[in-house]
Amino acid sequence: MPTFTPTQGRYLAYIHSYTNLHGYPPSEAEIATAMCVAPPSVNQMIKNLERRGLVSRQPGVPRSVHVLIPEDEIPSWRRGGVVTAPAKSQRSRSDDRAEPASPPVNLYVFDVYLLGGPLSDKFAGKVISRMIEIRGDQTLHDLHVAIFNAYDRWDDHLYEFQLGRRPHDPNGPNYGIPSGKRRKRKTGDARMTSLDALELKPHRVFGYWFDFGDDWFHQVQLERIETAIPTVSYPRVIRRKGKSPPQYE
């Protein structure tokens, strides 16, 4: 039986599920969107899977990656993740009837505007935003990662979501990665705080501060709350306005 890590299993599951649905393999860009990572990370993972004999591909040929392991050993792709049961085609109809329906999950649609940072004159005065969908059972840290990737950044730093009375209210409540140097009385752990726990309402606006030094400031606005689609991987970017400024000039 082939062995692979949970992360490798997610890639295998997505590639297999996408190919079954569309009749052809996904592009690396589509895999990157599903996994919420940068395209170079996908390219490295595909090469790693190929070296382990888990997939095959034709270098330089788009949409050529194929999963090589038996179908009944491929994890099943579900709502943003993998379950370790065999692929659906290998399960009996009685198993499907016995599987309980998943309860509805909230889907938050945020518009994230770049307000300021170490911008060159090329980006001065331009509207730059990213619209992101994220599930209510995901965390503020997941939202941070989504924003980080949506703005094509590559060097991670500390961050803080500021949910006080106004955007970028330093008096909190604020959420980030608590540390001894920056710990505040009203600072919560973004890794442990789900979107649902914040009880946000549509049109709520708050701040997101990335990199305490270069100081990238963003305004986050909740456009609406919908119901998440079970077969879609979140978070995901659904709209980009303006080019991403380089993280470092």
Closest CA to 45 of 94, 3, 4, 75: 4
Which phi and psi angles does 125 have, rounded to 5°?
75, 5
- The amino acid that residue 224 corresponds to is R
pLDDT at 20 over 70: yes
Model confidence pLDDT, tens digit, residues 82-131: 444 554 444 444 444 444 555 788 999 999 999 999 999 999 889 999 99
Bigger pLDDT: 243 vs 39: 243
Task: State whether CATH 3.10.290.30 applies to domain 106-241.
Answer: yes
Identical fold, 6-92 and 106-241: no
Alpha helices (H) along 23-127: 28-35, 39-51, 93-98
Mean pLDDT of 50-72: 87
Mean pLDDT of 75-84: 60
* All structural domains of the chain with their residue ranges: 6-92, 106-241
DSSP state of 3: -
Which residues have C-beta within 8 Å of that of residue 79, sequence separation ≥ 6?
Answer: 102, 105, 135, 228, 230, 231, 232, 233
Bigger pLDDT: 117 vs 182: 117
Report how far residue 242's alpha carbon sits from residue 127's, in angstroms, rounded to the nearest whole number.
7
pLDDT at 75 over 90: no
CATH number, span 6-92: 1.10.10.10
Query: Structure pTM?
Result: 0.61
pLDDT at 26 over 70: yes
Report how far residue 42's alpha carbon sits from residue 55's, in angstroms, rounded to the nearest whole number.
13
DSSP state of 108: E
Say what the pLDDT of residue 95 is.
47
- The amino acid that residue 179 corresponds to is S
- The amino acid that residue 205 corresponds to is V
Model confidence pLDDT, tens digit, residues 204-235: 999 999 999 999 999 999 999 999 887 788 89
Report how far residue 247's alpha carbon sits from residue 249's, in angstroms, rounded to the nearest whole number.
7
Report how far residue 228's alpha carbon sits from residue 68's, in angstroms, rounded to the nearest whole number.
31
Model confidence pLDDT, tens digit, residues 144-160: 999 999 999 999 999 99
Report how far residue 15's alpha carbon sits from residue 10's, in angstroms, rounded to the nearest whole number.
9
